[in-house]
Amino acid sequence: MLNTILITALIIAVAVVLLGIRVFFVKNGKFPDMHIGHNAELKKRGISCAATTDAEQRNRKNLADYLTNE
C-alpha cells in the first residue's frame, strides 16, 4: 500500500515538473494562453469565444441589423 502511494506521488511530481518546464526554468516563463479570444489564428478565421459571440448577439436590435452584420 505504501509503495503504491509513493509511486503515485512520484508520477504526479514528474508530471508537474514536465508540464511546468517552461515556467520553472525559463526567466519570465509562463504557461501558454489557451483562451480562444487571444489566439491569432482563430481571429483570422473569425472565430471568437462563446462569451464574445453571446454579447454580440445580445447587442443586435432586430432582424435587419442581424442580416447586415453577417
Residues 37 and 70 in one domain: yes
Residues 64 and 50 in one domain: yes
Residues 39 and 20 in one domain: no
Question: What confidence tens digit (pLDDT) does each residue in 20-58 have?
Answer: 887 777 777 776 677 787 888 888 888 888 888 888 888
Residues 69 and 37 in one domain: yes
All three cell numbers of 26, joined, read: 525559463
- The answer, as to whether pTM is greater than 0.75, is no
Mean pLDDT on 7-29: 86
The answer to whether 32 touches 19, Cβ cutoff 8 Å, is no
Residues 43 and 20 in one domain: no
- SS3 category, 33: coil
The answer to whether 24 touches 17, Cβ cutoff 8 Å, is yes
For 11, the domain range is 1-30
**Of 52, 46, 48, the residue nearest 36 (C-alpha):** 48
All three cell numbers of 6, joined, read: 509513493
Residues 46 and 26 in one domain: no
Residues 43 and 66 in one domain: yes
The whole-angstrom separation of Cα 60 and Cα 51 is 15
